[in-house]
Amino acid sequence: MRPLELYLHIPFCVQKCKYCDFLSAPAPAGERREYVESLCRQIRKYHELAKAYHVVSIFIGGGTPSLLESCQMERIAEAVRETFVLEEDVEFTIEANPGTLTMEKLETYRKLGVNRLSLGLQSADNDELKRLGRIHTYEDFLESFRLARQAGFGNINVDLMSGIPGQTLTGFEHTLKTVAELGPEHISAYGLIIEEGTPFYEMYGEKGRERAQHAGELPDEETERKMYHRTREILEGYGFLRYEISNYAKPGFSCRHNLGYWDRTEYLGIGTGAASLIGHERWNQGEEKITLSMQDEMEEYMFLGLRKMEGVSRRRFRVLFGCEMETVYGQVLENMQKKNLLECAGDFVRLTEFGIDVSNYVMSEFLL
């Protein structure tokens, strides 16, 4: 039986955040009930495929999965356990937003085997949260964090964001230190990306209709660069290790589900818009399957694997593709090392500190 990661998408939220381009939207209770029933039927349809796999991680994301009632989450977990063989130590994560959690929900999650909680904070500054369109305050987050600990969660991730409109370097440093002092096991720290189709795109995007009136609200490029570097410096001071470009964990608490994505472990996404990679085929729910060529898979191995601080393994490349990494990428590797963007560490090729700063450029060089 091969390892499989399972992703379940819950496309509902209380309100759409101004920066969000994820597949999510508010919906009435009846629509949420119908979706859960449909999701459970979809899960059970994979009973034949499931025979070839054992599930090593489950991630229920969204949207805001914690919007669902406890009984709805129970039905989803029941469908999963009836259909798939789960590893005894399966990592089981649920995303949750402050303001939607109760002790009753948290106790249900624990009963269902959920052992990792991901809380979407973004900022410890209430003004910044308002600018993002978040439904909660920092005080709401503190209460959710306290309840999660009380319910027995010993593996909690907190999502943070830099580059928020009106955010200063000092303000971001305060958020990092404030959250780190709470002692979560994992922190994901992402820079704000202005996505087309969002309210923020109209306000800050290159072709946004309101751009002129919001000029100067976003931190400039140099401030964003400093925020990125201070993230590592501050979190490492609190005992967090950066194991991926935007992810930090206490020893032993790296997110196994995310590592599986970057290592190209097979994964099955179920629910509206969820993505899957099974064998050599990739697809989004409701769309046609795409068969990946060896070239596609080599590219993905390199630009996904280079997100990890350990980098990509030459030995594994040889096992997967039957040739040496240098045979395919020799010139690129040589050029990137000359520019001090990549370095070799035994079997691994990884980004340098300078390479991390321009990682998008480095990874684009591995497209064949």
The CATH number linked to 344 is: 1.10.10
Residues 236, 353, single domain; the answer is no
Q: Is residue 299 part of a domain?
A: yes
- Considering the domain architecture, whether residues 246 and 299 belong to the same structural domain is answered as no
For residues 40 and 35, give the distance between their C-alpha atoms in angstroms, rounded to a whole number.
9
331 confidence band (pLDDT: 50, 70, 90): very high
**For residue 22, what pLDDT band results from cuts at 50, 70 and 90?**
confident
The domain total for the chain is 2
Residue 286 pLDDT greater than 90, yes or no: no
pLDDT for residue 227: 97
CATH number at residue 144: 3.20.20.70
Question: Mind giving me the DSSP string for 308-322?
Answer: BTT-EEHHHHHHHHS
Burial of 283 from C-beta contacts in 10 A (0-12 / 13-18 / 19+): middle
- Shared domain check, 137 and 239: yes
Residues spanned by the domain of 302: 294-368
Residue 64 has pLDDT above 90, yes or no: yes
- 352 with 231, same domain: the answer is no
**Global pTM value:** 0.96
- pLDDT at residue 237 above 90? yes
Q: Give mean pLDDT, residues 21-48.
A: 95
Residue 279 lies in a domain: no
Mean pLDDT confidence for 65-90: 98
Q: Which of 76, 91, 86, 83 is nearest to 55 (CA)?
A: 86
26 and 159 housed in the same domain: yes
Residue 218 gets which letter from DSSP? S
Sequence-separated (6 or more) residues with CB below 8 Å from residue 308: 243, 244, 259, 262, 350
* pLDDT confidence of residue 140: 97
Residues 255 and 308 in one domain: no
Q: Which of 203, 194, 205 is closest to 161 using CA atoms?
A: 194
CA distance 157 to 186: 4
- 257 and 331 assigned to the same domain: no
237-242: average pLDDT = 98
- Asked if residue 162 and residue 20 are part of one domain, the reply reads yes
- Given a cut of 90, is residue 121 above it in pLDDT? yes
Whether 309 and 240 share a structural domain: no
